[in-house]
Amino acid sequence: MKFNNWSMTRIRAGEKVLTSRKKRYEDDEDVIEIVGELPWWFIREYLHKPEGAENPQQLQSIINQIFRRVVEDDERFFVHVIDTYNVIDRSNPK
């Protein structure tokens, strides 16, 4: 699974353990569990902390940057529980 710099910084700091995606990454080695589909408003309001954001507004800003548009409240996402140890291990040069 790919993560941007914002996400990797938070994964390394232990602040991000979830990632919301439009499709299910069932066979990805970085995924422990998948929940959903859930509406974006729910993720933004109630899961922003485990998504690595300080508040709902920050998470909205980040996802708008990723999608290069405003992500609407009723859009649906699959919430993935990240195997943070695996992600960190793979990101460290050997």
Query: Residue 42: is it exposed, middle or buried by C-beta count within 10 angstroms (0-12/13-18/19+)?
Result: middle
The answer to whether 19 and 32 have CB atoms below 8 angstroms apart is: no
pLDDT in tens, 1-53: 999 999 999 999 999 999 999 999 999 999 999 998 999 999 999 999 999 99
Q: Say how far apart CA 59 and CA 43 lie, in whole Å.
A: 9
Domain boundaries, the chain: 5-91
